[in-house]
A and B are shown apart, each in its own frame.
Chain A
Amino acid sequence: MNDSKIIVTVSGQDKTGIVAGISAILAEYKVNIEDIRQSIMQDQFVMFLMADISNSKASYKELKQALLDKCEELGMEIWVQRKAIFDKMHTI
């Protein structure tokens, strides 16, 4: 289990600039994207992104707030969570 990994899940109405907006924030905070997937599920845009925050220039709280603010601007729903919760919940 690596404490520096986070999962960002963004969903909502598809529009231009979602991936660009989120990745710009991550780049600004020096957070490295390690994996990214996106698809349309039930007419909704969904993006999953795994990132490493070990070199982040700010605290988890500040980074999350910046992402929340960006998504509010984009009109999207966002979940930012430490990856450990998924690893623990879904593996024996």
Chain B
Amino acid sequence: MEFFNAKSILETIEMIKVHHLDIRTVTLALSLRDCITDDIKKTGDKVYNKIIKYAKNLKTYAKDLENEYSIPIVNTRIAVTPMSIIGESADEYDYVYLAKVLDKAAHEVDVDFIGGFGALVEKGCTRGDRALIESIPQALSETNRICSSVNVASSKAGINMNAVLLMGKIIKQTANLTAKKDGIGAAKLVVFCNTPGDNPFMAGAFHGYSEPECALNIGVSGPGVVLAAIKSLPKDADLGVVANKIKTIAFKITTTGELIGRELANRLGIPFGVIDLSLAPTPAIGDSVAGILEAMGLERTGTHGTTAALAMLNDAVKKGGIMASSYVGGLSGAFIPVSEDAGMIEAAQCGALTFDKLEAMTCVCSVGLDMIAIPGNTPESTISAMIADEMAIGMINKKTTAVRVIPVPGKGVGDRAYYGGLLGEAPILDVHKFDSSVFVNRGGRIPAPIHSLNN
């Protein structure tokens, strides 16, 4: 005889209905390595056919599960092998063509995004890697659903400063080619250090070289649920109690996500990959990571104490997730994208949250400088220097870091950039005016750090 607990049922319904618990994404990760040929059109055909074959039921089955469990599945996505390698054997490179093929396939199977239009170049670029990177501005401006990521640094290889320099230019070009939409192309482009090959979240999702033929990775979210749990505690509850509460909630979110992920993988007839438990905010009121930090007792996110509060939040989320599933992967932690988080937007608007504080927060958050709108006249070399700083934090601390900044064409400090949907809107943050160009133009590689003498 099975039993049910009415309190648990009400709690679950409240988490979904009131506190925005959702499955943020189900991401089909797919290897395209067997699509490589020396003819770019033939490669494109193989890529298209393979995506259709594997992903044709993804959206339908995800909708079925959403209905059966009454939990929203916000996005369906696809992550593929970094495309630099897929197009590299062609007699004539045409990465924009491959981007359009991916975009067409994404439209056909009706997924929200397809990631993997990128390259891993932390040690150096091959000819194909370079050609792909140079095609990014055009590719992102002529497609709708493509996301691009480039890994330019790792703790094992160091920082490829030639690639860092190049990416400053590419980000600027991408924003300028999508100037009518406040540079939205740059919102789909991210530069990484220590990128994981199983991340289901965009813009950084791709299917790593060491991954299997295909897998279903799932990303769950729920800042609103964590926020409500912390608010339910007395104001003087000590931080050990707060951390434990976060772990308990993270456990519940993760087990739910894994259930949906495994069921979907089963219906698609492919292996389950990982669950990524990331507190990914949305612009909806109450679905904010900044709100969590403020519920812990900070007047505004960005003030002194923010880094400590975020460190505890990020760590507690991982601990709760790890307890819930043996296959936690991807990024897992707390995201701090400015434009996607109502609390962060307010904090930036009132001056509490600055670029420099965000950089400090990235030392302990899940990823890095994310969805930050900066003045459109920011020099390329300054953007490269921002990337270099962020890569250094990841490299030295052996963590994943990333940069997704948008130099908003024609706008400056005091203006706002508007993207809509999950990407939200943001006040444009001020950046340092002093020049970094001599430093970033030196090029070469910042050597990998020493892995002992840890201080």
Contact = CB atoms under 8 A, between A and B. Distances in A.
Contact of B68 (A35, A37, A82, A86): A82
A88 B3 CA distance: 14
Nearest to B64: A61
B91 interface: no
B144 to A, nearest CB: 30
Contacts of B2: 2, 5, 34, 50, 83
A60 B68 contact: yes
B71 A85 contact: yes
B332 to A, nearest CB: 18
B12 interface: yes
B9 A61 contact: no
B450 interface: no
B453 interface: no
B438 interface: no
A8 to B, nearest CB: 10
Contacts of B3: 35
A82 to B, nearest CB: 5
A64 B64 CA distance: 12
B6 A90 contact: no
A2 B10 CA distance: 20
Interface in A1-59: 2, 5, 7, 9, 34-35, 37, 46, 48, 50
Tell me whether chain B's interface is mostly helix, strand or loop, or mixed. Answer: helix
Interface in B60-79: 64, 67-71
B237 interface: no
Contacts of A83: 2, 4
B350 interface: no
A90 B259 contact: no
Contacts of B455: none
A79 to B, nearest CB: 5
Nearest to B13: A79
Interface in B414-451: none
B255 interface: yes
Nearest to A78: B70
Listed residue (B8, B11, B64) with the most chain A CB atoms within 10 angstroms of its CB: B8
A86 B6 contact: no
B135 to A, nearest CB: 43
Contacts of B255: 88-89
Nearest to A39: B6
Interface of B: 1-6, 8-13, 64, 67-71, 251-252, 255-256, 258-259
17 contacts: A5-B2, A7-B9, A34-B2, A37-B6, A48-B4, A61-B64, A79-B13, A80-B70, A81-B12, A81-B69, A81-B70, A84-B259, A86-B9, A88-B256, A90-B5, A90-B252, A92-B251
Given A9-B13, A85-B71, A90-B11, 9 more contacts: A7-B9, A37-B6, A81-B69, A81-B70, A85-B69, A86-B4, A86-B5, A86-B9, A86-B12
Interface of A: 2, 5, 7, 9, 34-35, 37, 46, 48, 50, 60-61, 64, 79-86, 88-90, 92
